[in-house]
Amino acid sequence: MNRPIFLLGFMGSGKTTWGKKLANHLNKEFIDLDHYIVERVGMSIPEYFQQHGEAAFRALESEVLKEMEGKSAIISTGGGSPCYFDNMTWIKDNGLSIYLYLTPKALFSRLEKSNIAKRPALKGLTGEHLLAFIEEKLTERSPYYDQAHIKVDQLNISLEGLSQLIA
């Protein structure tokens, strides 16, 4: 049966990096949902947020997620995608879901070093404000992420370990 494998997790949890590695290792197609959206709309995610607002982004994100039905691919989702509409239920029913878990502190140290402007959901936050935001959002989103079929500690992942989970 063709079923997608979805990587879920907070911004900065390594979904794209691990998705690419895993797809390469398993010789499967890799799809980054954010990238897929960017190609569809012809503008970056920050530009889309600015021009159309977050609600329109969430609707589009949900729509493109459902286009993944039946694809035999490794798919990295956007950090918010499991947490809106019926998306998490759909993900569970239509594929295998893997949650890449990191603590707020670990996410903070990774996101602090990244380009915050590329992630409009972080609203340009830095320092203690960024950490507080991550803690709050992760608490809000965990009930969705925790529904994934498999939860892995991102700090202890190996390519072999991930591949075995999927086999």
Residues in contact with ligand S3P, shown as a per-residue x/- string from 5 to 24 under the rule CB under 6 A: ------x---x---------
SS3 (DSSP) at 99 = strand
Segment interacting with ligand S3P, rule: CB under 6 A, options 18-26, 102-110, 113-121, 153-161:
113-121
SS3 (DSSP) at 31 = strand
Segment interacting with ligand S3P, rule: CB under 6 A, options 19-27, 74-82, 146-154, 155-163:
74-82
Question: Is the Cβ of residue 133 or residue 150 nearer to ligand S3P in the bound state?
Answer: 133
Question: Is the Cβ of residue 1 or residue 113 nearer to ligand S3P in the bound state?
Answer: 113
Residue 136, exposed/middle/buried by CB under 10 A (0-12, 13-18, 19+)?
exposed
Segment interacting with ligand S3P, rule: CB under 6 A, options 87-95, 97-105, 119-127, 151-159:
119-127
Distance CA 4, CA 76 (A): 10
CB 18 within 8 A of CB 12: no
**Which residue in the set 4, 14, 80, 95 belongs to the binding site for ligand S3P (CB under 6 A)?**
80
Cα atoms in the 13 Å half-sphere on the side-chain side of 141: 25
Distance CA 152, CA 31 (A): 20
Paired strand residues for 101: 153
Binding site, residues?
Answer: 12-17, 34, 58, 79, 119, 141
Point out which residues bind ligand S3P (CB under 6 A): 11, 15, 34, 45, 78-80, 119-121
